[in-house]
Structures are given as structure tokens and as C-alpha cells.
Amino acid sequence: MRNKLIQYGWIGVIRMICYYINTKLFFRKSSLIRLPIDIRGKKFIDFGKSLTTGKGCRIEAYPYQINDKVLFFGNNVELNDYVHITAMKGIFIGDNVLMASKIYISDCTHGFYEGNRMDSSPEQAPNERKYNLASVHIGNNVWIGESVSILPGVTIGDGSIIGANSVVTRSIPANSIAVGIPAKIVKNYNLKNKTWEKV
């Protein structure tokens, strides 16, 4: 208790107790859900075990053409403040994933922009354009830095790290460090030598 008082102060400790009670009433398998939180489509979300969230998170699931879960958290996932996750087709988050604050993850966009006949017209209102859907997979033991955006169709392999402020538009293999806009691999972990090596 003394350590918690030093870390949070009396008001912080009281607030944490309220969060804990709310968590055990409404999210029994989770560790701690901080308030406020905005959860939309709760029945379409699998929260896994021991989920922890920061305040101000927005987690939403809107299945498109199906009536089943589309957002899956693994075990021991930690989200910091103001993480925004939107799932329509499938977002799969592995075990022991750590996310910093202000992260955006989505498996959907308004419209198509690939340079072919399927492309959406700029003369059409964005919210009237057909959804472009592609599942997102985040592996086990992934660490995602502050203000990262992860776009549809991306897979992030086990053990990888995404640097702060990166925009992930393409898949990242396991045991890699990726940074930038768009995110590019700058280091790989050498399993034999047990060291991170520059690419």
C-alpha cells in the first residue's frame, strides 16, 4: 500500500480502487480498466485475460457482413491512454502486447485508392464510399510506441517493436524494430548471437 501511495497519492489510490471495482463488475477477466473508456460493440470483442487499459481508450467492433466477434485480445495485453482500435473484419492482438498512448489500429478504411477500376471517386462523400477491409494481426510480445498508426492488412510478427510516431502500412516480420512514415525495418534480432543488428 505504501508503494501505491508514493506512486499515485491518496486520490490516485481511491481512483484505482474505483477502477478495480468497476473492472471486476463488468470485465471480470481483465486486470484493470481505467475510466473513462468508450467501448462500442462489446459483444463482438474477446477481451482475453488480464487486459489493462489506460484512460480515454476507444475500442469499437462493428462486424461487416458477419455477426460474430471481430476484435480479439490475447492475454496480458496492456494499453496506455487514448488508444483507439476499430475492427470490422478482424483484428487479432497476441499475448503480452504492450501499447503506449495515442495509438490507432484499424482494419478498415472508407474507399479504395489502389490505382485501378475499383478506386473510389473524390466526388463521392467519404462516408458514402464502400469500406475497404483487411485484417490486422499483431503477434506475441510486441511493443508499440507512442502515437503509432497501424493500417489495414498489416501483420506485425512476434517480438517486434514499432517506434514512436510510426505509420505501419506494410507487414513487419518477427523480431524486428521498425520506425518511420511509412515504417521501415532498422534492426533485426539475431537469435543466435542474442543481439539487435542494424539492417
Give residue 7's pLDDT: 66
Contact 132, 88 (CB under 8 A): no
Active site residues: 110
C-alpha triplet 187, 191, 196: angle, nearest 5° = 25
| Grid coordinates belonging to 142 | 510486441
Spatial distance between the Cα atoms of 171 and 137, rounded to a whole number of angstroms:
9
Listed in sequence order, the residues at least 6 apart from 175 whose beta carbon sits closer than 8 Å to its beta carbon are 157, 158, 159, 160, 188, 189, 191
Which amino acid makes up residue 122? P
Average pLDDT over residues 94-113: 97
Mean pLDDT score across all residues of the chain: 94
Average pLDDT over residues 127-153: 97
Query: Which is more confident, 159 or 16?
Result: 159
CATH match of 31-198 with 3.90.1170.40: no
Spatial distance between the Cα atoms of 98 and 109, rounded to a whole number of angstroms:
25
Average pLDDT over residues 144-151: 98
Give residue 2's pLDDT: 53
In DSSP terms, 44 is beta-bridged to none
What are the boundaries of each domain within the chain?
A: 1-29, 31-198
Average pLDDT over residues 88-97: 98
